[in-house]
Amino acid sequence: MPKFESPGVTLHYTSSGSGEPLLLLPGALGTGEGDFHHQIERFSQHYQVVAPDPRGYGQSRPPERDYPLDFYRRDANDMLALMSHLGHESFAILGWSDGANIAVLMATQQPARIEKLVLWGGNSFLTREEITAFQQIRSISSWSSRAAEAMRQIYGAELDALWERYVDGLQAIYNAGGDIYQSLLPQVKCPTLILHGEKDPLVPSLHPETIHRGIAKSLLYVFPDGKHNIHIRYPEEFNQIVLSFLPKGVVPLPVVSSTLAL
């Protein structure tokens, strides 16, 4: 697995395919290969796919992951530095959950570099209800056995403390006002596709709708029965929709649902 040495952190990533660069950003505690195993092979047929493990996650350890108030912006800076290291001055991004939040911040920090965004499972601010929900799943014992086992394979005994630090990090953002990037949404200038699972238990529909309203050049597509992991649960439909949206290298494919909102 290639690595990028940066002050204070070594980022590990996979790179496959050829063509225009496409960055895949995983969710909280996630890894590039683990979160996007349904996408990497498919997209690398048309793009040069870069799938990193963010700092403190997966193989990008050490350092031990911490969550200061600006941890999303720090991750955005890491990813911009990685893509510069790889020689990609401009590129498209797919971001899931926390990866969606990082992607938007990248697009506000260096808008000229981001050609297109595909976002799902992200939230531009935090509500009291969401913080309560995260506190209720603060203990790994409250997770499904399948989800817990998948993360245990990566982090072992370190998982419990890592997840507690993450929940504490979200609580701190909420205590500081809750804005992650809602106020910055008008700064996103690139075409953006927002995907959402209507039955997402973690991210209610107000979040993709807020992002859609805030980004002028955006589309919103809803999976009526989808939850948080629509790219895993509906990989063929998900991949087809994304490939029809991305900028270069693919013959456009038809959108397969009437729930695409302008």
Which residues are tagged catalytic?
Answer: 97, 200, 228
The candidate with the shortest Cα–Cα distance to 197, out of 169, 225, 155, is 225
**Count of all residues that appear for the chain in the document:** 262
Q: Which run of H or of E encompasses 91?
A: strand 91-96
Other C-beta atoms closer than 10 Å to the C-beta of 68 total: 11
Rounded distance between C-alpha atoms, residue 75 and residue 223, angstroms = 28
Contact by Cβ (8 Å): 57, 65: yes
Contact present, 244 and 254 (Cβ < 8 Å) = yes
CB 14 within 8 A of CB 50: yes
CA distance 49 to 47: 6
CB 212 within 8 A of CB 133: no
Rounded Cα gap, residues 165 and 152, in angstroms: 16
Q: In whole angstroms, what is the distance from residue 212 CA to residue 22 CA?
A: 22
- Are 171 and 131 contacting, i.e. CB atoms less than 8 angstroms apart? yes
CA distance 55 to 61: 7
Closest-CA residue to 11 (of 50, 49, 83, 61): 61
